[in-house]
Structure 1
Amino acid sequence: MPNQSRPATLKSMAIALGVHVSTVSRVLNGDPAGVERAASTEVVARIRSLAKELDYRPNTQASNLKLRKSQEICVLMPRLTDLVMATIYDSIDSAAEQAGYLTFVANTEDQQARQMARAEHALRRSVAGLIVGDSHVGETQPLLDLLQRKHIPYVLVSRQITGHLTAGSDDEMGGWLAAEHLYQQGCRDVAILAGERHASTGADRTRGFIRYYREQGITLRPEWILNGPFDSLTGHQQGEYLLGLNPPPQAFFAVNDFLAIGLMGAARDKGLEPGKDIAVVGFNDTPLAKELFVPLTSVRLPLAQMGLHAVELLHKRILGEPAESIILAPELQVRASSSRLRRTD
């Protein structure tokens, strides 16, 4: 019998049973065709009985190195402190588990150098594939180029780049819906808190918003379209600046809820009430949006579905099956921050 003071191995069990180590491997690693060729029913039963007796656990790390594959998925996220990204990752992790994968997340801080370093570390672990949530528009794509060149399965989530498989939302349509609502509220002088320049989410939402107003014959002021990080501090700072203008904008579209929340804080500091003195629309419809002192109108995205579809698409890529991008439709949730404006006409 194998020395029970040490973990059982395929080799030690093969010696104890008087069979070849490859036979033990086929039986315990789930190769039905190989088992039928290599062993009788009686030998299979003996191998499984001994493995159970010794509480044998496969060395998956060694198997992965040998086979150059694993059941792990690396998820590259810009910031896990971002509730939207955390929600998407939670869905990815649940869907991956259902599909037989384990996930681990790498926080890239939305920097391409960190993105590449984290991805290279994942590739050294022979991951089954990658889900990328921080690709940059308008720039070279060294990571995506590398993955394509090495034929490594990957899919984008939330962000979109032409020519790359993605599970995302129709962000341009979301911006269009926000603009349509504000226009119907009588808002003509509108500012945009547009987020990071390199993020497809902010760029597409801004584009859709501007397009709607252009179709109504209105050109929005370019100096009222401000870029910056997707956080409440930036929203507050940009809100202070815009609300300090004479005259200030009548309405505000923020490409995520945190920018909108920061702007609403700046309005409060100036004695202004969203929904009465100004109109504010956010994006993503995070759970906090409807709980604010003035509930926030926001464009809702199916974030959990986005994560689920990212795993589905990646699984198809891993299996070598054809796959097409999935783009989900947004919905506008109208609340008090934009629906009760005081009329000045």
Structure 2
Amino acid sequence: MADDAAPRPVLDLTCALIARKSLTPDDAGCCALIGERLAALGFTLEWIDAGGVTNLWATLGSGAPLTILAGHTDVVPPGPHQEWQSDPFDPQIRDGVLYGRGAADMKSGLAAMVVAAERRLARGPTQGTLAFLITSDEEGTARHGTRHVVEVLKSRGLTPDYAVVGEATAARQLGDRITIGRRGSLGCNLRVLGKQGHVAYPDKADNPIHRLAPALAELTTTVWDRGNAHFPPTSFQVSNLHAGTGASNVIPGAVDVVFNFRFCTESNAEDLKARVSEVLDRHGLRYEADWWLSGEPFLTREGALIEAARAAVGDVTGLDPLLFTGGGTSDARFIAPWGAEVVEIGPINDSIHKIDEHVLVTDLDRLSRIYEGILDRLA
């Protein structure tokens, strides 16, 4: 499957992980495979499972600094198999590109981290504690994965110093950017209540769509903040809107709206909820709001970790990476508030969650060398 020039250790482990059909939250044996490799290095393995989710916490050494390599084994569904050039769970290499679900997001990152640890430890022990935090609940609800493990470890009084998350972060070539922060995500299922009736007798009904419209217009044009040097302004987006019975002559009794904030460090969830409620109340709406917070924003400031990451990327790729805070959410949102400096570094992210997800074979070993270079500088 691989040509003789391919960097085998990372490639072989990536393929072995892709071949395990770990649809979220099913780990499908990925953590066990990784655990075997880590146990052979002397890591102590602990399984902190919850809610049907597999969570591996593996540690080697003691004391500070506590450096975590973190990632997830679960993948999103592949979609129609017939639209893939090959079976999404049968890793295939074509023209120097490895195809398979999870190739970029993020089984290659996990494989590269494991091999990086193997190479680093072959040259002697690290300082402090080296740890792996691996979950099978990142692509799903993310309630019983890294979030749960962090709470368990916090209760023991553990505080990490550094964490590297292996998410796919590169835009056009490996190392062109690393993620040092993420926006927060706050969502709401909003139901605005009215009174159902006949469209010919509007005086006997109360149209919730008409009531909602002015409030929604205000929400969509509100400037929530102006962002800062690291983040764009907070955005408000409606993703779903539904009302009506299907009949053209019935005023509906309710209208349902789903909206989301992607918010920067200039705002916080409680203030955003309060500001939305103020608008809805001022417009006289009767409503029910079901809010959910996927994560607060975070930002890693310039320090030892960013310095080590930039240097390691430069050594391997010759690039000075852009320090990036865009994109969606990741499990870094649970690790950063724990007290760690956090960066995310991984392969090109153009194909993640898509048909024919893929990664460049030549990037696999180079990514592992980047992780190894970070460990050299921190541990």
The two structures have a TM-score, normalised by structure 2, of 0.22
- Higher Rg: 1
More helix by share: 1
Tell me which protein shows more strand as a share of its residues: 2
